Amino acid sequence: MQQQYVETAPGVRLWTERRGDPEAPALLLVMGAQASGLGWPDALVDALAARHQVIRYDHRDTGRSTTAFDQHPYPITDLARDAVAVLDGLGVEKAHLVGMSLGGMLTQLVLADHPERVLSATLIGTCALSETLYKALDGTQVPVGELPGIAPEVLEMWSRPVEDKGPEAELDRRVEHWRVLNGDQLPAEDAYFRDLEARIIAHTGTHVASTAHARADDSHMLRTDELADSKVPTLVISGPAEPVFPPPHPHHLAQVIGGGGARVVEIAGMGHALPPAVQGPLAEAILTHTDAVRA
């Protein structure tokens, strides 16, 4: 395991970690909003590192990376540029990209804007950056704005102000957040997520949560034509208990990318989280996808 800081923009340094054979094909893990790279579970990272040089990193305003937003606000699209800059800083010409939630959107931006850097893409718990209509099984064409929205219980949590009430209260808040995101098909893993978030807090050096990504400008993210023209092999993970971008969002993504050339794999019981129960099946799906590209 190797840790390194990479400068991705003037005054911006991102923490990175690499595991696995440095001669193996690189695989870049791109986490979601406000999420440290440690949000990718160690067991999942190690499973992927059996066949890849796996890179995970802290976005700006997360983990050990530069806290910059309040002094120098940036748009969400800069986070996608950071992903490419991480590859540059580590001397990686091309990589498999795996993105979750906002990280799935950032992966789409890289896929659209820098396809020459992407060996394959895997998209988890995200929505298409496209205005292409969704074609339902009965042939009906559905506008993107009419696809199912975020579950009310998630919206309620996200509407609450994030207040500093001390480390233990912050851990309680984060565990409750994961309980809601986990969905209703797998048992709650409160102890697992409490341990995960305690390690993230120790890694970060503070329990105070940032809200930078929620405040960042999210305009200029649509890539309808570029995604339709994509030739990059793409896997879309579908979670039947997904409360943020529920089905049929994964199938819409698959229709949008490469003119319908993306593949969908469902992970049983999966919501918008990575508890132990989904890590093995998810690693298998990703490795099957990257192996096929390699072959």
| Cβ contacts of 108 within 8 Å, gap of 6 or more | 99, 121, 123, 126, 128, 129, 223, 227, 257
Position 62 in a domain: yes
Give the count of domains, the chain: 1
Instruction: Let me know the angle formed at the C-alpha of 100 by 125 and 77, rounded to the nearest 5 degrees.
Output: 110
Letter for the amino acid at 15?
W
Please check whether residue 203 lies inside any domain of the structure.
Answer: no
Residue carrying the six token digits 């066949």: 51
- Determine the average pLDDT of the residues in 283-294: 96
Domain at 138, CATH number: 3.40.50.1820
At residue 259 the predicted structure's pLDDT band, cuts being 50, 70 and 90, is confident
pLDDT at 266: 98
In a domain? residue 205: no
CA distance 156 to 152: 6
194-216, pLDDT tens digit by residue? 999 999 999 999 999 999 999 99
Half-sphere exposure at residue 42, Cβ-oriented, CA atoms within 13 angstroms: 8
Is the pTM value of this prediction over 0.85? yes
Nearest to 278 by CA among 239, 223, 235: 239
Domain that holds residue 116: 2-150+210-294
In angstroms, how far is the first alpha carbon of the chain from the final one? 27
Residue 146 covered by a domain: yes
Does 79 fall in a domain? yes
8 A C-beta contact, residue 251 and residue 238: yes
| Per-residue confidence (pLDDT) for residue 13, from 0 to 100 | 98
Here the tokens at position 129 are: 């950056």
Percent of the chain with pLDDT over 70: 100
